[in-house]
Structure 1
């Protein structure tokens, strides 16, 4: 997830809230303990963090939190320490703080767990995609997520010994996607709203056909001058992760 960088946490602690004589802003132990429920709507066990100062505890909690919780904490900081309450809390600094919170909210909604059907290539590509998402943003992660999905679907076909004799010389993602749907026993059982679900999966195949041009022309996989924007890149990541999770659930190999 694309949460706060260590340098950004340092800025929030030392340059926005401010530290004087080892104290974090005007926090006492009690007011810091109450801060998360009163200002952030979060249930945080402050005592679970072993750091021995409020400054260190706050930084550790912010660092350990998921991006959505980081956003809530930053908004809580903005409420607790509004612009103008101290010299360093200027309007520009406040806007930067709110901007960081907004960015933390705009993260991949679908978790990138490890699939049950996997290979060394899939595991490595997924790990690198997560690292790139966390450190460089969603547009940088698409190339590796594309590789992970391609490798996953190919591995799933081979693991089930499906007929790939009609494969083109360079099978793409959508080819393996269609083979699995047509041949794998996990798709044989009737389901509710079967016609509607068939249409949804047909539409998903159409979407997957666009992954190759997106990867090749709008990511850092090649020397592209125009990259996919943040929101569109997150949409692609969420779609790919959702489909991978769906297939992993359907392909019940014994």
Structure 2
């Protein structure tokens, strides 16, 4: 981690703005208390004249209060700012909005942005995606495979249900995807390059079939001796995230 960049107020400006936006959209009072204990600034957060009060009452000055806290972190302990960057409710937004800044800081390049569940996503899907992001940050990509499998499986079955596409309750990941691909109206017309895009979507079925196998025999979902290697695990995570992003954009489910 290149702390010198974070200490440069001009360089960190766009990153601070992205962090503030993520916090405004995602944080609740519990998140603030947890962050306070994690960074050693709990007394500051709890004693802030307006932060938690503005959050609780939805006051207009809450956004300014968030900036005050971030600047306090930057001025007093840059490690606290790093903790904000790494927070599960902040990092996915930064990967999407400021990927170049993260790379400059020393975060690994090449990750497909994290998946942000839509409003209609089930609690199972939301929790599995959050768990996968946490495991990716703390334990590495191989540990995230099981939770991504659960999230994708739940998402596909939910999308079929929302689209009135009949699939058995016991439908596998691959079966649910094939049914969605074959029957959902949004996936029938793929633009002027329908044939080539169709080939890519067909290859997604192979990716998900391989995900099934890797989840059962190459992940920590079961007591497997031969866990997929880190680079290959990141390949799996990126592939599944790509499928998620495409489907959620096309079918808005």
Superposed CA offset, 1:126-163 (max 9, x none) = 11111211221111111011000000000111111113
Cα distance, 1:110 vs structure 2: 2.2
Q: Structure 1 34/143 Cα, relative in aligned 2: closer, same or farther at 3 Å?
A: closer
The CA distance in 1 between the partners of 2:186 and 2:157, in whole Å, is 16
Flag the structure with higher helix content: 2
Q: How does 1:43-58 map to 2 (within 5 A)?
A: 43-45=11-13, 49-51=70-72, 56-58=76-78
Superposed CA offset, 1:193-228 (max 9, x none) = 111111111111112111111011111100011211
**Counterpart in 1 of 2:161?**
158
Unaligned runs of 5+ in 2: 17-66, 86-90
Number of corresponding residues: 188
The CA distance in 1 between the partners of 2:200 and 2:73, in whole Å, is 54
Unaligned runs of 5+ in 1: 5-11, 14-31, 74-100
Q: Structure 1 196/113 Cα, relative in aligned 2: closer, same or farther at 3 Å?
A: same
Q: How does 1:99-248 map to 2 (within 5 A)?
A: 101=106, 104-106=107-109, 108-164=111-167, 167=168, 170-248=170-248
The CA distance in 1 between the partners of 2:102 and 2:193, in whole Å, is 40
What is the TM-score of this pair, normalised by structure 1?
0.64
**Secondary structure at 2:124 match in 1:** helix
Superposed CA offset, 1:105-128 (max 9, x none) = 156332221135411211111111
**Secondary structure at 1:51 match in 2:** helix
**Secondary structure at 2:214 match in 1:** helix
Quick check: which has more Rg, 1 or 2? 1
Cα RMSD (Å) of the superposition?
3.1
Q: Structure 1 34/250 Cα, relative in aligned 2: closer, same or farther at 3 Å?
A: closer
The CA distance in 2 between the partners of 1:180 and 1:241, in whole Å, is 17
Contact 1:142 1:237 (C-alpha < 8 Å) held by counterparts: yes
